[in-house]
Amino acid sequence: MTRDDPTRPFEGKVVLVTGGARGVGRVIVHSFARAGAHVLINYFHAVDDAPNPCR
């Protein structure tokens, strides 16, 4: 897939999601990942959920 692939508009981009370990944040993480982004997840309060945000 190339960067011009309309199904992956974030291909090659890096995004930072705060609160991405659970709930709505996890859905946002998955959406960015499906769109081709490299996702950095910041979790401060959800330490138990943090090791597996892609569940």
Question: Phi/psi of residue 37, each to 5°?
Answer: -80, 155
Number of compact structural domains in the chain: 1
For residue 55, name the pLDDT band (cuts at 50, 70, 90). Answer: low
Mean pLDDT value across the chain: 82
Distance CA 44, CA 3 (A): 32
| Cα distance between the two ends of the chain | 25
Enclosing domain of residue 54:
1-55
pLDDT digits (tens, 9 = 90+) for 32-53: 999 999 999 887 776 666 556 5
- State the average pLDDT over residues 16-25: 85
For 2: left if phi > 0, alpha if psi spans -120 to 50, otherwise beta; the answer is beta
